Amino acid sequence: MSFFVGLVIGIAFGIAIIVLFVRSENARSKQRTQLAATVAAFARMTVEDSKKLLPPPYYPSWVVFTQRQKLSWLNFQLTRIWPFVNEAASELIKASVEPVLEQYRPIILSALKFSKLTLGTVAPQFTGVSIIEDGGDGVTMELELQWDGNPSIILDIKTRLGVALPVQVKDIGFTGVFRLIFKPLVEEFPGFGAVSYSLREKKKLDLTLKVIGGDISTIPGLSDAIEGTIRDAVEDSITWPVRKIIPILPGDYSDLELKPVGTLEVKLVQAKELTNKDLIGKSDPFAVVYVRPVRNRMKTSKVINNDLNPVWNEHFEFIVEDKSTQRLVIKVFDDEGLQAAELIGCAQFQLKDLEPGKVKDVWLKLVKDLEVQRDNKNRGQVHLELLYIPIAGESGFTNPFASNFSMTSLEKVLKTGVDGMQATDNGIAHTPRRKDVIVRGVLSVTLISADDLPATDLMGKADPYVVLKMKKSETKNKTRVVNESLNPVWNQTFDFLVEDGLHDMLILEVWDHDTFGKDYMGRCILTLTRVILEGEYKDSIPLDGAKTGKLNINLKWTPQHVYRDS
């Protein structure tokens, strides 16, 4: 009997195991099916889908979404035809680059030209492609390229001392983005009239210079001079907005050529809280400002000795060729005398953010590297005043720095539009004598009030007053003292006769009045460009050098042009 009972229990137990196994396999199969469906769904996801699921603030810093597609097929074909490309392109590059090298030839050299140029056996690799939609009558394609080549490039150089040296350029590493513009689109084959190409972005350019049979370091400064010349040649010959045009179909393509579209007026006002690079004393800062990093288009300010809060008040002018893509770059250095200057920090501003004819006052935070997105170290800030004016004929904007305003402090007194026809004895008017205008006028400054000034007294109050000063003429005025107030109201107006409005500055210093002295609370520095353009405006200006506080002011400009015959 026990045998049959055990048999029944064993059979039941076995059947139960089989049932559980089958159900488990079915469940695992269902899970695998669901997982496969989930993986397939992720595979079909677009960049926009992923951005909806996870907002950008939650992305790690190393996550980057790219619009560029891979080009393995193109790299394979380029590798096959590279020997023929090398032979054809070498002579073309040599013929087009040599004149640019001569243009930027260092002064210590009397001759600089190629004796040999081949691109080597290693083909560049395209790492991505993207199509830029600009809504125009053309197609723009951007190709990301990487090249660690083995070219054979030898430069024949001759110094002013008569020393001839063959210099080899080797170990070239390049990463950048090339832009191809197919424009205009036409109905004839191949569908476009011309192709324009340019180096849209130069991410990396490394190279090594070596004197064949010698040491390039035997001539001090030669290596840096030649390398700088090569970089300037690349920047000025092919880097965007410079572009080369290849006509495909007969026609006039002059509208595709590089042309100025406007002028950027930059006033380098001041900097504050700069990092101190000196062990003894303070840094001696100066700034380098540019739109295109070409040697003859970069501007350098004067050096302000021993000051971490320098005031430059210098004006620079730049030509703009493509407002939508170009940027203004400023680099602040510490002057080290005979040694190389040390970088304090750099900043940039996109020109597309400027409204034509409107003065934009900006404070830019300095960073160590413009390519590094996150830099939390405080390296200081730089204060700029920017004004973009389209070229004549495209707008009715007035440029105070252009040919109808004067720039006396820069010895650039320009012509005015006031003619004043002169009559002769017979009553016939002839061509008027040219007259020059000085931007002279009366600046009316109304100190309305201040808000949230920092407390300086033990009782948590202050007795503030404001000292007003014109930087160039050093004319001063001051308000009355308002006792025991962090939100004083003055409503006082002061008039200043300004001889050079475009290059003077208004400095407002806030002080706390004490019986036995005074305490500094902060200051505001204002240029006059905006009030000259607008005539009058009201604004609230934050205090520099204070944690809190701002001044509420009203500025009015009354021009008093002075004409002088020339």
Task: Provide the strand spans (E) within 441-529.
Answer: 441-451, 464-470, 476-478, 489-498, 505-514, 517-527
Please give the backbone phi and psi of residue 88, each rounded to the nearest 5 degrees, phi first. Answer: -75, -40
Distances from the Cα of 284 to the Cαs of 274, 290, 342, 378, in angstroms? 10, 20, 10, 18
Retrieve residue 127's tokens.
Answer: 């790492």
Q: What is the pLDDT of residue 5?
A: 65
Which residue has 């992305």 as its token pair?
59
3-state secondary structure of 70: coil
Count Cβ atoms below 10 Å from residue 194 Cβ, excluding itself.
18
Q: What is the pLDDT of residue 443?
A: 93
Count Cβ atoms below 10 Å from residue 182 Cβ, excluding itself.
17
- Residue 333 and residue 341 in contact, taking contact as beta carbons nearer than 8 Å: yes
Distances from the Cα of 302 to the Cαs of 314, 315, 319, 555, in angstroms? 8, 11, 21, 29
CA distance 445 to 53: 54
CA distance 95 to 244: 14
Q: What is the pLDDT of residue 26?
A: 82
CA distance 250 to 235: 29
Looking at the DSSP bridge assignments, the partners of residue 180 are 141, 197
Handedness of CA 426, 431, 433, 438 (dihedral sign): positive
Per residue of the chain (566 residues), give pLDDT as tens.
666 667 767 777 777 788 787 788 888 888 888 887 887 777 666 666 666 666 666 666 555 555 555 677 778 888 888 888 888 888 878 887 888 888 888 787 888 888 888 888 888 888 888 887 666 678 888 888 888 888 888 888 887 777 778 888 888 888 889 888 888 888 888 888 899 988 888 888 888 888 776 666 666 677 778 888 888 888 888 888 888 888 988 888 888 888 899 999 999 999 998 999 888 888 999 999 999 988 888 999 999 999 999 999 898 999 999 898 899 999 999 998 878 889 999 999 999 999 988 888 899 999 988 877 667 788 899 999 999 988 865 555 666 665 554 443 333 333 333 333 333 334 333 333 333 345 788 999 999 999 999 888 777 788 999 999 998 888 899 999 999 889 999 999 999 998 888 888 999 999 998 877 788 999 999 988 889 888 899 999 999 888 889 999 999 999 876 544 44
The DSSP 8-state label assigned to residue 233 in this structure reads H
Question: 492-524 as b/e, with b when 16 or more CB fall inside 10 Å?
Answer: eebebebbbbbbbbbbbbbbbbeeeeeeebbbb
Crossing angle of helices 72-103 and 222-237, rounded to 10°: 110
CA distance 565 to 433: 7
- Residue 490 and residue 509 in contact, taking contact as beta carbons nearer than 8 Å: no
Q: What is the pLDDT of residue 266?
A: 92
- Residue 549 and residue 543 in contact, taking contact as beta carbons nearer than 8 Å: yes
- Our CA angle for 558, 559, 560, nearest 5°, is 120
H/E element, 269:
strand 262-272
